[in-house]
Amino acid sequence: MLNITPPPASVGQFLTATEVTQRLKVGKSTLYRKIRNEGFPKPIQMGLRCARWSEESVSNWLEEQKEKAAA
C-alpha cells in the first residue's frame, strides 16, 4: 500500500496557468494581459517550460480586486 503524506501547511500550493484561468474565468491571453497591465502576480519559473503561480498570491490579488470593486 502506498503511503502518501500531504505537504506541511507552511508549504504553499502552486497553480498551473490552466488552474489560474479557471479561477479567474478568463482565457490565457487575458491572464497574461492582466500580468502586463493590471498587476496580476507573475508566475514562478520552476523549469525551462514550467511556470506556476502561488495559490496565496492569486487569492490575495482576487481579494484586492474585490475590495477595489466594493470601494
The residue that leads in pLDDT, 2 or 38, is 38
Per residue in 12-69, pLDDT (tens digit) is 799 999 999 999 999 999 999 999 999 999 999 988 899 999 999 999 999 999 999 9
Contact 13, 55 (CB under 8 A): yes
- Residue 21 CB-density burial (10 A; 0-12 exposed, 13-18 middle, 19+ buried): middle
DSSP character string of 28-64: HHHHHHHHHHS-PPPPEEEETTEEEEEHHHHHHHHHH
pLDDT of residue 11: 55
Distance set, CA 58 to CA 1, 2, 34, 53 (Å): 35, 32, 12, 7
